[in-house]
Amino acid sequence: MEAVNSNLEDYAIITHDKIRYCDTDRQGHVNNAVFSSFFETGRVEILYNNELPILGDNCSFVIASIKIDYSNEISWPGTITIGTMITKIGNSSIGIEQGLFQDRKCVAKAETVIVQMNETTRKSESLSDEAKNILGKYIKTEN
Protein backbone atom coordinates (compact mmCIF):
# COMPACT_ATOMS: atom_id res chain seq x y z
CA MET A 1 0.00 0.00 0.00
CA GLU A 2 1.25 3.46 -0.79
CA ALA A 3 1.94 6.00 1.95
CA VAL A 4 -1.18 7.00 3.85
CA ASN A 5 -3.08 9.77 2.04
CA SER A 6 -3.06 12.58 4.57
CA ASN A 7 -5.22 14.95 2.53
CA LEU A 8 -8.86 14.47 3.52
CA GLU A 9 -10.06 16.67 0.67
CA ASP A 10 -8.78 14.16 -1.91
CA TYR A 11 -11.59 11.76 -1.02
CA ALA A 12 -14.88 11.77 -2.95
CA ILE A 13 -17.11 11.13 0.09
CA ILE A 14 -16.48 12.38 3.62
CA THR A 15 -18.53 11.15 6.55
CA HIS A 16 -18.23 11.04 10.34
CA ASP A 17 -18.71 8.55 13.15
CA LYS A 18 -18.77 8.96 16.93
CA ILE A 19 -16.07 7.30 18.98
CA ARG A 20 -17.76 5.48 21.84
CA TYR A 21 -16.23 4.62 25.21
CA CYS A 22 -16.92 0.92 24.51
CA ASP A 23 -14.65 1.19 21.43
CA THR A 24 -11.58 1.55 23.65
CA ASP A 25 -9.14 -1.08 24.86
CA ARG A 26 -7.40 -1.40 28.21
CA GLN A 27 -4.86 1.26 27.22
CA GLY A 28 -7.65 3.78 26.53
CA HIS A 29 -7.21 3.76 22.76
CA VAL A 30 -9.71 2.63 20.16
CA ASN A 31 -9.35 -1.12 19.58
CA ASN A 32 -7.93 -1.96 16.15
CA ALA A 33 -10.98 -4.10 15.32
CA VAL A 34 -13.18 -0.99 15.60
CA PHE A 35 -11.22 0.64 12.76
CA SER A 36 -12.97 -1.82 10.42
CA SER A 37 -16.36 -0.59 11.63
CA PHE A 38 -15.37 3.01 10.91
CA PHE A 39 -14.28 2.01 7.40
CA GLU A 40 -17.63 0.26 6.92
CA THR A 41 -19.43 3.51 7.82
CA GLY A 42 -17.66 5.21 4.92
CA ARG A 43 -18.26 2.40 2.41
CA VAL A 44 -22.01 2.22 2.98
CA GLU A 45 -22.29 5.91 2.04
CA ILE A 46 -21.62 4.77 -1.54
CA LEU A 47 -22.74 1.14 -1.59
CA TYR A 48 -26.17 1.66 0.00
CA ASN A 49 -27.04 5.23 -1.03
CA ASN A 50 -30.84 5.27 -1.48
CA GLU A 51 -30.65 8.28 -3.79
CA LEU A 52 -28.11 6.61 -6.12
CA PRO A 53 -28.74 2.84 -5.78
CA ILE A 54 -26.17 0.53 -7.34
CA LEU A 55 -27.04 -2.87 -5.87
CA GLY A 56 -28.56 -5.38 -8.31
CA ASP A 57 -31.81 -7.22 -7.59
CA ASN A 58 -31.37 -10.27 -5.36
CA CYS A 59 -27.76 -9.26 -4.72
CA SER A 60 -25.59 -8.18 -1.82
CA PHE A 61 -22.09 -6.78 -1.46
CA VAL A 62 -19.38 -8.89 0.14
CA ILE A 63 -15.80 -8.07 1.05
CA ALA A 64 -13.34 -10.07 -1.05
CA SER A 65 -10.24 -8.38 0.34
CA ILE A 66 -9.34 -5.73 2.89
CA LYS A 67 -5.96 -4.36 3.89
CA ILE A 68 -5.60 -1.87 6.72
CA ASP A 69 -2.50 0.15 7.52
CA TYR A 70 -2.50 1.68 10.99
CA SER A 71 -0.38 4.80 11.38
CA ASN A 72 -1.63 6.40 14.62
CA GLU A 73 -3.85 5.73 17.60
CA ILE A 74 -7.43 6.93 17.93
CA SER A 75 -8.41 8.17 21.36
CA TRP A 76 -11.76 8.67 23.07
CA PRO A 77 -13.75 10.91 23.26
CA GLY A 78 -14.36 12.49 19.89
CA THR A 79 -15.36 11.81 16.34
CA ILE A 80 -13.65 10.12 13.45
CA THR A 81 -13.78 11.43 9.89
CA ILE A 82 -13.84 8.87 7.10
CA GLY A 83 -12.74 9.66 3.55
CA THR A 84 -13.81 7.22 0.82
CA MET A 85 -13.18 6.98 -2.91
CA ILE A 86 -13.45 4.42 -5.66
CA THR A 87 -10.17 3.30 -7.22
CA LYS A 88 -11.39 0.63 -9.65
CA ILE A 89 -14.65 -0.54 -11.18
CA GLY A 90 -14.53 -4.09 -12.48
CA ASN A 91 -17.18 -6.38 -13.93
CA SER A 92 -18.58 -7.37 -10.54
CA SER A 93 -16.00 -5.82 -8.21
CA ILE A 94 -15.32 -2.38 -6.77
CA GLY A 95 -11.95 -1.16 -5.48
CA ILE A 96 -12.23 1.28 -2.58
CA GLU A 97 -9.60 3.41 -0.85
CA GLN A 98 -10.32 5.00 2.51
CA GLY A 99 -8.65 7.08 5.18
CA LEU A 100 -9.56 7.59 8.83
CA PHE A 101 -8.86 10.98 10.39
CA GLN A 102 -9.02 12.25 13.96
CA ASP A 103 -8.60 15.99 14.41
CA ARG A 104 -7.63 16.15 10.69
CA LYS A 105 -4.70 13.79 11.29
CA CYS A 106 -4.71 10.58 9.23
CA VAL A 107 -4.66 7.56 11.55
CA ALA A 108 -5.28 4.66 9.15
CA LYS A 109 -5.80 3.74 5.52
CA ALA A 110 -7.66 0.84 3.96
CA GLU A 111 -7.87 -0.74 0.54
CA THR A 112 -10.93 -2.92 0.03
CA VAL A 113 -12.31 -5.00 -2.82
CA ILE A 114 -16.07 -5.44 -2.73
CA VAL A 115 -17.88 -7.93 -4.97
CA GLN A 116 -21.56 -7.95 -5.91
CA MET A 117 -22.89 -11.43 -5.18
CA ASN A 118 -26.15 -13.02 -6.30
CA GLU A 119 -28.01 -14.22 -3.18
CA THR A 120 -29.43 -17.31 -4.93
CA THR A 121 -26.37 -18.59 -6.80
CA ARG A 122 -23.86 -17.27 -4.21
CA LYS A 123 -21.63 -16.30 -7.14
CA SER A 124 -20.45 -12.92 -8.32
CA GLU A 125 -22.85 -10.96 -10.50
CA SER A 126 -21.99 -8.19 -12.95
CA LEU A 127 -22.63 -4.62 -11.94
CA SER A 128 -25.15 -2.86 -14.16
CA ASP A 129 -23.99 -0.13 -16.52
CA GLU A 130 -26.00 2.33 -14.42
CA ALA A 131 -24.19 1.18 -11.27
CA LYS A 132 -20.82 1.58 -13.00
CA ASN A 133 -21.77 5.11 -14.08
CA ILE A 134 -22.80 6.04 -10.53
CA LEU A 135 -19.60 4.54 -9.10
CA GLY A 136 -17.61 6.53 -11.65
CA LYS A 137 -18.68 9.71 -9.86
CA TYR A 138 -16.63 8.61 -6.85
CA ILE A 139 -13.54 7.38 -8.68
CA LYS A 140 -10.10 8.50 -7.56
CA THR A 141 -8.53 11.03 -9.88
CA GLU A 142 -4.78 11.48 -10.08
CA ASN A 143 -3.53 15.02 -9.46
Instruction: Identify the DSSP state of 106.
Output: E
Q: What is the CATH number of the domain that holds 125?
A: 3.10.129.10
Confidence (pTM) = 0.91
Domain assignment of residue 108, yes or no: yes
Instruction: Give the 3-state secondary structure percentages of the chain, helix then strand then coil, rounded to 5.
Output: 20, 45, 35
Which pLDDT score is estimated for 142? 60
Nearest CA to 79 out of 30, 12, 10, 9 is that of 30
Q: What is the mean pLDDT of residues 43-60?
A: 94
Which pLDDT score is estimated for 2? 47
The number of domains in the chain is 1
- pLDDT by residue (tens digit) across 97-138? 999 999 989 999 999 999 999 999 999 999 999 999 999 999
Domain assignment of residue 143, yes or no: no
Nearest CA to 114 out of 55, 58, 73, 49 is that of 55
Domain assignment of residue 124, yes or no: yes
- Amino acid, single-letter form, for residue 22: C
> Can you give the residue range of the structural domain that contains 14?
8-136
pLDDT band at 28 (very low <50, low <70, confident <90, very high): confident
